[in-house]
């Protein structure tokens, strides 16, 4: 092919540009193991029959055909041995799977599906890799190797693991990857299944005659439900105080402060406040816990 340059090689077409401005386009088509050759003159954009070409042009065309056949064979070998198909999966991704904790999905046939573009019959097998599949907790998710259906084998607790990120794998029977892995993400949705936990609190001090609004202490209860979710939003209320002199108050956030500035150590040196904490930000149906806040009243003369 002296004096000629291969401009572009496609899967079935070779363009050859020669001296003097002449150019040829050689296209190969395979039908039932027969090879068809079409010659196109790029200058006049008309299909030309092979018989109209000179012997030297036809010789070059068939030489080019041999080159293309070699390239096609090399491409087939590379594709079969590389194990990674370079064709993109049309931008497809597996959608996020949402599963409610404490709900039984074990009888659901499929919560998601891995599907390869190159699945024909039983030529592709499917696998899952990652936490919840072939890593701890093992086999919480399993996949049907033949059709790619993913199902679950257990009831989930968000407080154990809130999100599972796995890889869906498509393999040929010889063990080579049919294409690149695809991510499967499963989020376990929170249910209000945890009571608030009231903290252990040591007694706190406040001076007698402290002005109204004086900060005393902040109660910090906890809730194991999902942070930022209403199930873990806590609200505080004062149930009672003993003695019942109405000397203290608590706001929704748990801050205890002086309500009445006539605190007098000689009258009462210690108060016990019963505080309730409720999730759902205090709305009806929230789970509750109670605890006691002990406040010692100090003598002003001790300052």
Q: Does residue 210 share a domain with residue 292?
A: yes
Weakest mean pLDDT among 3-7, 52-56, 190-194, 250-254? 3-7
Least confident of 24-28, 117-121, 162-166, 268-272: 24-28
170 and 118 fall within a common domain = yes
Is position 70 within any domain?
yes
- 148 and 232 part of one domain: no
Question: Is 261 contained in some domain?
Answer: yes
Same domain, 125 and 168: yes
Which pLDDT score is estimated for 120? 77
Q: In this model, does residue 230 exceed pLDDT 80? A: yes
**Residues 137, 178: one domain?**
yes
Does residue 196 form part of some domain?
no
183 and 128 Cβ atoms separated by less than 8 Å:
no
Confidence of residue 57 (pLDDT cuts 50, 70, 90): low
297 shares its domain with 208: yes
Judgement on whether residues 162 and 238 belong to the same structural domain of the protein: no
**Do 62 and 147 have their domain in common?**
no
Which of 189, 221, 246 is the endpoint of a domain? 189
Judge whether 91 lies within some domain: no
Task: Decide if pLDDT at 246 tops 80.
Answer: yes
Residue 217 lies inside a defined structural domain of this protein:
yes
14: Cβ contacts below 8 Å, ≥ 6 apart: 6, 8, 25, 26, 28, 64, 67, 68
What is the domain count for the chain?
3
Domain that holds residue 26: 5-82
Q: Which of 4-13, 23-32, 105-114, 168-177 has the lowest mean pLDDT?
A: 4-13
Domain assignment present for 233: yes
Tell me if 195 is assigned to some domain: no
Examine residue 270 and state whether it is found in any structural domain, yes or no.
yes
Q: Are 208 and 292 found together in one domain?
A: yes
Strand 149-152 versus strand 112-113 pairing type: antiparallel
Q: How confident is the model at residue 69 (pLDDT cuts 50, 70, 90)?
A: low
What span, in angstroms and rounded, lies between the C-alpha atoms of 290 and 33?
Answer: 83
- My answer on whether 101 and 184 are in the same domain is yes
- What is the 3-class SS of the chain, one letter each residue? CCCCEEEEECCCEEEEECHHHCEEEEEEEEECCEEEEEEEECCCCEEECHHHCCHHHHHHHHHHHHHHHHHHHHHHHHHHHHCCCCCCCCCCCCCCEEEECCCCCCCCCCCEECCCCCCCCCCCEEEEECECCCECCCCCEEECCCCCEEEECCCCCCCCCCEEEEEEEEECCCCCECCCCEEEEEEEECCCCCCCECCCCCCEEEECCCCCCCEEEECCCECCCCCCCHHHCCEEEEEEEECCCCCEEECCCCEEEECCCCCCCCCCCEEEEEEEEECHHHCCCCCEEEEEEEEEEECHHHC
Residues 182 and 208 in one domain: no
Q: What is d(CA 296, CA 248) in angstroms, rounded to the nearest whole number? A: 12
Residue 97 near residue 186 (C-beta atoms within 8 A) = yes
pLDDT of residue 39: 43
Name every residue whose Cβ is closer than 8 Å to that of residue 195 and which is 6 or more positions away in sequence.
223, 279, 287, 288, 289
Last residue of a domain, one of 142, 161, 189: 189
The model's confidence at residue 81, banded by pLDDT at 50, 70 and 90, is very low
CATH number at residue 233: 2.60.40.60
Residues 120 and 169 in one domain: yes
Token look-up 């989930």 returns 156
Which of 59, 82, 105 is the endpoint of a domain? 82
């Amino acid at each position: 092919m002296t004096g000629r340059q291969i401009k572009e090689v496609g899967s079935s077409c070779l363009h050859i540009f020669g001296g003097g401005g002449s150019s040829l386009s050689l296209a190969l088509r395979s039908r039932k193991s027969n090879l068809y050759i079409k010659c196109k003159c790029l200058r006049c954009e008309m299909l030309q029959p092979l018989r109209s070409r000179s012997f030297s042009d036809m010789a070059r065309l068939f030489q080019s055909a041999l080159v293309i056949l070699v390239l096609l064979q090399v491409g087939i070998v590379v594709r079969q041995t590389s194990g990674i198909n370079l064709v993109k999966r049309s931008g497809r991704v597996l959608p996020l799977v949402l599963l409610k904790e404490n709900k039984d999905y074990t009888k659901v046939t499929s919560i998601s599906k891995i599907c390869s573009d190159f699945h024909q019959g039983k030529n592709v097998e499917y696998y899952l890799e990652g936490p919840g599949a072939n890593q701890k907790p093992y086999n919480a998710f399993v996949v049907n190797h033949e059709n790619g259906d993913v199902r679950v084998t257990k009831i989930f607790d968000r407080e154990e693991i809130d999100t599972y990120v796995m890889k869906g794998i498509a393999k040929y029977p010889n063990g080579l990857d049919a294409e690149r892995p695809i991510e499967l993400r499963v989020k376990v949705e929170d249910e209000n299944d945890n009571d608030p936990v009231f903290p252990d609190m040591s007694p706190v001090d406040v001076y007698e005659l402290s002005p109204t609004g004086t900060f005393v202490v902040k109660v910090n209860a906890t809730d194991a439900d999902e942070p930022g979710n209403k199930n873990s939003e806590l609200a505080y209320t004062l149930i009672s105080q003993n003695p019942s002199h109405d000397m203290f108050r608590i706001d929704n956030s748990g801050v205890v402060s002086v309500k009445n500035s006539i605190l007098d150590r000689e009258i009462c040196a210690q108060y016990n406040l019963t505080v309730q904490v409720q999730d759902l930000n205090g709305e009806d149906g929230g789970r509750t816990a109670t605890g006691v806040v002990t406040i010692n009243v100090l003598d002003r003369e001790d300052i």
